[in-house]
A and B are shown apart, each in its own frame.
Chain A
Amino acid sequence: MHIMEGFLPPVWAVFWYAVSLVFVVYGALKSKRLIEENPKNKALLAVAGGFIFVLSSLKIPSPVTGSCSHPTGTGISTMLFGPAVTAFLSAIVLLYQALLLAHGGLTTLGANTASMGIVGPFAGWLVYRALKDRVSLKVNAFITAVVADWFTYVVTSLQLALAFPGTSMINSALTFMGIFALTQIPVAIVEGIFSALLIGYIAQIDRDVVKEGVVA
């Protein structure tokens, strides 16, 4: 979903930086507090961050559009720590990719953090909270991850449509969604399965986390 380096006009680059910075800083402070409160959280933060690293490095082919796209891996972090910490963790991963892989970029880092770290995970978090006591943990992890992943790409499409409205913003949004949101459907489902498996492992190790949720 990375908007490539230089592909957002400066006004939008600044705008998304401003939006993201608030969440990333708050998420960083919150991460620090969580570690101080309970050292166990350090391990969980590492797992959540590691999961984002792995999943966002996998370019998965999608039969819907015949192109490749990668999952975001933000579902686990969202369930355990909420969207702000997820914004912080995502920003780290996106920075790695911008600097070492030329995927995404420094000028588009704000926009990419907003989609992958903030709005997508926030949508997932709302679903997670709504389903929390209604479905099993694994089912919830699957749905949360799918929603967080898929919304990330919807947001990317909207960000590009805002910056490149063409003749009509709605047509432009549909064009980008035809690329990103469509490609992403099977990728999001794959991510959901991975997330459900991982939360299953975490639950085996630490029942409390899963029952209470760190953010709860």
Chain B
Amino acid sequence: MLAFMVLQLPLAKAENWSGADEKAEEAIKQLSPDYEPWFSPVWEPPSGEIESLLFSVQAGIGAFVVGYVIGRHGAGKDARNA
């Protein structure tokens, strides 16, 4: 699956792989050229690197919890069966 995701990357130019969110932003600008966002994020990651870091932290938290619970319960089951 990972291979599938990576292999398709050369098929398009690098700048094409933007987020769908950004495309939606462009669409909104076309549909309502006068619309101005009325609120800005309270805090934005100061750089793309830090944004990646925080995304990784999010994934890490989730993966740790899933792995921990499944690992612990699996181990508990093995101990009971032993």
Which chain B residue lies CB-closest to A59? B19
Complex alpha-carbon distance, A67 and B27, angstroms: 14
Among A2, A164, A165, A180, the one with the most B-chain Cβ atoms within 10 Å of its Cβ is A164
Q: Are B58's CB and A97's CB within 8 A?
A: yes
Task: Indicate with 1 or 0, residue by residue over A56-79, a CB within 8 angstroms of chain B CB atoms.
Answer: 111111110111110001000000
Number of interchain pairs (Cβ within 8 Å) = 157
Q: Are B59's CB and A198's CB within 8 A?
A: no
Give the total of B residues in contact with A, Cβ under 8 Å.
49
Is residue A216 within 8 Å, beta carbon to beta carbon, of the partner chain?
A: no
Is residue A151 within 8 Å, beta carbon to beta carbon, of the partner chain?
A: no
| A34 / chain B contacts, CB cutoff of 8 Å | none
Do A5 and B40 form a contact, CB below 8 Å, given A61-B17, A66-B17, A164-B32? yes
Q: Are B62's CB and A52's CB within 8 A?
A: yes
Do A43 and B69 form a contact, CB below 8 Å, given A106-B42, A172-B31, A176-B24? yes
Which chain A residue lies CB-closest to B39? A6
Task: Indicate with 1 or 0, residue by residue over B12-33, a CB within 8 angstroms of chain A CB atoms.
Answer: 1000111111111101101110
Task: Indicate with 1 or 0, residue by residue over A26-44, a CB within 8 angstroms of chain B CB atoms.
Answer: 0000000000000000011
Q: Are A166's CB and B20's CB within 8 A?
A: no
Complex alpha-carbon distance, A103 and B54, angstroms: 11
| A5 / chain B contacts, CB cutoff of 8 Å | 37, 39-41
Q: Which one of B1, B12, B42, B63 lies within 8 Å of A54 (CB-CB)?
A: B63
| B37 / chain A contacts, CB cutoff of 8 Å | 4-7
Which chain B residue lies CB-closest to A198? B66
| B8 / chain A contacts, CB cutoff of 8 Å | 61, 63
Complex alpha-carbon distance, A175 and B26, angstroms: 11
Q: Which of A14-22, A120-128, A137-145, A202-210 contacts B (4 or more CB under 8 A)?
A: A202-210
Which chain B residue lies CB-closest to A7? B37
| A97 / chain B contacts, CB cutoff of 8 Å | 58
Q: Are A50's CB and B38's CB within 8 A?
A: no
Give min CB distance, A62 to chain B, whole Å. 8
Besides A5-B37, A47-B69, A100-B54, 5 new A-B residue pairs in contact (Cβ under 8 A), listed by A number:
A4-B25, A49-B62, A65-B20, A166-B30, A202-B70
A contacts, CB < 8 Å to B: 1-7, 9-10, 43-44, 46-47, 49-63, 65-69, 73, 93, 96-103, 105-107, 160, 164-166, 172, 175-176, 179-180, 183-184, 190, 193, 198, 201-202, 204-206
The 9 A-B pairs with the shortest beta carbon distances in the complex, nearest first, are: A53-B62, A6-B37, A50-B65, A54-B62, A166-B31, A102-B41, A6-B39, A57-B58, A102-B44
10 examples of A-B residue contacts, CB within 8 angstroms: A1-B21, A50-B62, A50-B63, A53-B58, A55-B62, A60-B5, A63-B12, A65-B20, A68-B19, A164-B31
